[in-house]
Amino acid sequence: MVDTDFAVEFARLRHLEYLARQHGRTEAELSADGRPGSPCFHEALHTASCLADALASLARNAAVVTDPDFYRLAHRARENISNLFRALGAADILGDDQPADRIGADERLISAEFAGKDNRAIERRISYLTQEYLSKIAVSECGWSLLFRDPSDGRFWELTHPYGELEGGGARRLSVIRSEDAAGRYSL
């Protein structure tokens, strides 16, 4: 069976649509769940590792080694899964080089909390937004909060450390702040 790139991509998109329907989520939400550093991504990396080990073992099995056709199939399968494992591993090490570079109009809070979240990906996104996208306006008197402006819609965003009393400053929180509140807190 020969699959063209077009046929493979069509099958992938149909499967993505099916998963979104099955889980009651949008395709964009599923894509975000699968970013490097996420639990879903780590599950894929672990599964690829297990399969690579299993296929390497299969390729050394006497029943496979003694038959040229079986060996060729096992060798190709091992090679493909090893390539997938290496690609997943490289993406995990590099992290998500393409964090969401804009803030959705409906977003009001971006926060790396403690339980049940992919904190590493969220922290990377907060870092990207505050260093590359948002315009820094002011720093609070205590120095623990920063005020930014979104260049696309003019909203003010405040970067805080709500659990700042914890060692290391705790998780960061980027949230929308009303212009009146920003003026008062940051003496604008």
Mean pLDDT, rounded, for 60-79: 95
Q: Report if pTM > 0.85.
A: no
Per-residue pLDDT tens digits for 99-134: 556 787 788 888 876 545 556 777 888 888 898 889
Mean pLDDT, rounded, for 164-188: 80
What CA–CA distance (Å, rounded) separates 93 from 16?
25
Asked whether 45 and 36 are in contact (CB, 8 A), the reply is no
pLDDT at 173: 87
Q: With 70 as the cut, is the pLDDT of residue 48 above it?
A: yes
Asked whether 31 and 86 are in contact (CB, 8 A), the reply is no
Mean pLDDT, all residues of the chain: 83
HSE (CB half, 13 Å, CA atoms) of 165? Answer: 0
Q: With 90 as the cut, is the pLDDT of residue 57 above it?
A: yes
Outline where the chain has alpha helix (H).
Answer: 5-23, 27-33, 39-59, 62-65, 68-94, 119-128, 179-186
Q: With 60 as the cut, is the pLDDT of residue 98 above it?
A: no
pLDDT at 63: 96
CB-based contacts of 27, cutoff 8 Å, min separation 6: 16, 17, 20
What CA–CA distance (Å, rounded) separates 144 from 160?
6
Mean pLDDT, rounded, for 54-62: 94
Per-residue pLDDT tens digits for 128-164: 889 888 999 999 887 778 999 998 888 999 998 766 5
Q: 3-class DSSP state for residue 44?
A: helix
Q: Given pLDDT bands bounded at 50, 70 and 90, which one contains residue 47?
A: very high
What CA–CA distance (Å, rounded) separates 94 from 86?
12
> Which of the pair, 115 or 18, is modelled with greater confidence?
18
